[in-house]
Structure 1
Amino acid sequence: MSQVFMFDALREATDEEMQKDDSVFVLGEDVGHYGGSYKVTKDLSAKYGDLRVLDTPIAENSFMGMAIGAAITGLRPIVEGMNMSFLLLAFNQISNNAGMLRYTSGGNFTIPIVIRGPGGVGRQLGAEHSQRLEAYFQAIPGLKIVACSTPYNAKGLLKSAIRDNNPVILFEHVLLYNLKEELPDHEYFLPLDKAELVRQGNQVTIVTYSRMRHHVMQATNQLIEEGYDPEIIDLISLKPIDINTISRSLMKTHKLIIVEECMKTGGIAAEIIAQINDDYFDLLDAPIIRLSSHDIPTPYNGNLEKATVIHPDQIIQAVKELIY
């Protein structure tokens, strides 16, 4: 076991898969000699050359289209968005091409492409660099979407995503790259469609993902000291949502809180609530509590930015209100 930063865990996953399979390559803005904005591709261009770690112009729609074309011909591209907000410029390619070509070709083409990069609310990055795009992409048929939250699941998810024959979007949070964790020395893979049961409990189910996992765990540590017993689920998979893991938890707790950094309107929590109401409403003993970001562009001002997202004290208050 060795202590590894999240950005290094992602780099290790990329390096291992490129070493094993010559069809795997990386492209994006500043991924080459610069090593990526968050150093996920550091030194890979020196090891594999400029054609397998390909620096692109600032033209997201163009290089996304090129990557999808490469995937159709049998290559396995990893596209890094320097900031996931920029990939809105490639929304047409991701939705109409990556998501649909396997279906519209009658299965003649597979699209083994990974789209990954930093997103979420950082620290004073401004509205256009603080996007949470998971809800934007969730409605697109044909995509798989995962959100990593630790170095361990970041590496295991990326390796699985690279080997998958479908388009996978991997959301990384800009404030988690320096998170450090022990990783096993042996090779491992994690499923792209399963949630993680982070903590077992009996009083209330708290569902979360990405950076909010750590806010939930901070709140949980205090709640445990006060005698509460929450069950914590990290979604990991945002499309498809692992509703079975959530429903099994609700069979014990009968109470649900969803904590997300996504906007409240049309967010991931909204989809979970819809699925619970459709199929598992009878498991609930109380209304579902949804803790989401405000429906506004993220302010640049630090105090205002902080006020738009959920913090541990709000989670603690919600648990107490729901139980009593």
Structure 2
Amino acid sequence: MSTPEPRVLRYVEALREATDLAMAADPSVFLFGLDVDDHLGIQGSTKGLQQKYGPDRVFTTPLSEDAMTGLAIGAAMAGLRPIHVHIRMDFLLLCMNQLVNIAAKARYMWGGQVSVPLVVRSMIGKSWGQGAQHSQGLHALFMHVPGLKVVAPANAHDAKGCLLAAIADDNPVIFMEHRLLYPTETPVPEGAYAVPPGRARLCTRGDDVTIVGVSNMVQEAVRAAALLAEAGIAAEVVDPVWLRPLDVDTIVESASRTGRLLVVDNGWTTCGASAEIVAAVVERTSETAGIRIRRLGFADTTCPTSPWLEADFYPTPRRIAEAAATLVHPERPPRLPEATRSASIQFRGPF
């Protein structure tokens, strides 16, 4: 008897399925945010949920991020489990006081008597010239704050499992979604399952260089690994999945074995997630480890609108591969094949 093919879902469909499962299992879960009830349903991630659960549990909001975040925090403190959808991570800057001074600190300030089980969904990533105010990956700001958890799933399987874990968590979770990941497909189990905080994932295995990617940079790193393989370099790609809490041990083990570490962030490198990852690795390895280290991220400038300038702003598979190859062979990096040969490769398991 032949084994049935695994069920494949798009990233955006996995987000919707996780929300549906959580709302069906727990009447305290509700979903709100600008345009969640629109016919397009936030790229499809909330499509049909209002029709299924009604306008009391799925509803749109005014353009008032600060006030609506306050509503979400109050509802969470009162025993509900809100999922607050923000179309762009940039817009979280409009509710930073609510998130940083109220949501993140309430449990501590009330001696554990108050919980804030709040999920804040926010999108990042380029598309049709989003420009300076709609392209930012601000996850490092939230990683800095005790009391907040931060997650950046890079495939559909983890998008579903991380969202279910975040909804069940009694702490506020910043859930980061890269819009270029939305159409990517991965085998996804039908039932409920969790991808819990604090566990990184090995996407490819290799002994020559460790590449840590954040969000969509995981997929770009997998494509870079394919280019490196053609040049005889075996790259191990690590997806942190959860950025806070961060699974440093898995990264340290890999980097200690390969002796080379490249961290590719979906944000700027200055005071960013890549800086934290590198610092954590250095602190946990001996002075004699001799790990060669490099970081890549956004160009150190405001994000341009022009696609031609965007091409130089974001890390690409070829630039990632070139940086990794230089770590492995600093004297004479090998010649790499054209990046177009790996453009369609994406990480699809194992899970």
Partners in 2 of 1:229 and 1:305 — Cα distance? 29
SS for the counterpart of 1:4 is strand
Partners in 2 of 1:312 and 1:201 — Cα distance? 17
Alignment match, 1:177: 182
Structure 1 portions without partners, runs of 5+: none
Deviations, residues 42-86 of structure 1 (Å, cap 9, x unaligned): 010111111100211000000100000000000000000011211
Report if aligned partners of 1:113, 1:165 keep a CA contact under 8 Å in 2.
Answer: yes
Deviations, residues 279-309 of structure 1 (Å, cap 9, x unaligned): 2143642431111111211100111112111
Report if aligned partners of 2:259, 2:292 keep a CA contact under 8 Å in 1.
Answer: no
Partners in 2 of 1:225 and 1:82 — Cα distance? 39
| Residue type of the alignment partner of 2:281 | I
Superposed displacement of residue 188, structure 1: 1.8
* Cα RMSD, aligned residues only: 1.3
Counterpart of 1:167 (choices 152, 159, 172) is: 172
Alignment match, 2:96: 91
Superposed displacement of residue 34, structure 1: 3.5
Between 309-318 and 114-123, the greater mean CA deviation after superposition: 114-123
Report if aligned partners of 1:33, 1:45 keep a CA contact under 8 Å in 2.
Answer: no
| Residue type of the alignment partner of 2:171 | N
SS for the counterpart of 1:189 is coil
Alignment match, 1:312: 317
Superposed displacement of residue 91, structure 1: 0.7
Counterpart of 1:80 (choices 45, 60, 85) is: 85
Does residue 137 of structure 1 match 2:176? Answer: no
Give runs of aligned pairs for residues 1-324 of structure 1, distance below 5 A. Answer: 1-282=6-287, 284-324=289-329
SS for the counterpart of 1:129 is coil
Where in structure 1 do 4 or more consecutive aligned residues deviate above 4 Å? none
Q: What is the TM-score of this pair, normalised by structure 1?
A: 0.97
Report if aligned partners of 1:254, 1:283 keep a CA contact under 8 Å in 2.
Answer: no
Deviations, residues 212-244 of structure 1 (Å, cap 9, x unaligned): 111111111121122111111001111122111
Report if aligned partners of 2:22, 2:164 keep a CA contact under 8 Å in 1.
Answer: yes
Partners in 2 of 1:192 and 1:81 — Cα distance? 22
| Residue type of the alignment partner of 2:188 | L
Structure 2 portions without partners, runs of 5+: 1-5, 330-351
| Residue type of the alignment partner of 2:277 | I
Deviations, residues 161-180 of structure 1 (Å, cap 9, x unaligned): 10011111110001111112
Give % identity: 40
Between 306-315 and 270-279, the greater mean CA deviation after superposition: 270-279
Distance change in 2, residues 1:283/1:57 (3 Å): farther
Deviations, residues 15-52 of structure 1 (Å, cap 9, x unaligned): 00000000000110011243533121101011111110
Report if aligned partners of 1:24, 1:77 keep a CA contact under 8 Å in 2.
Answer: yes
Q: What is the TM-score of this pair, normalised by structure 2?
A: 0.89
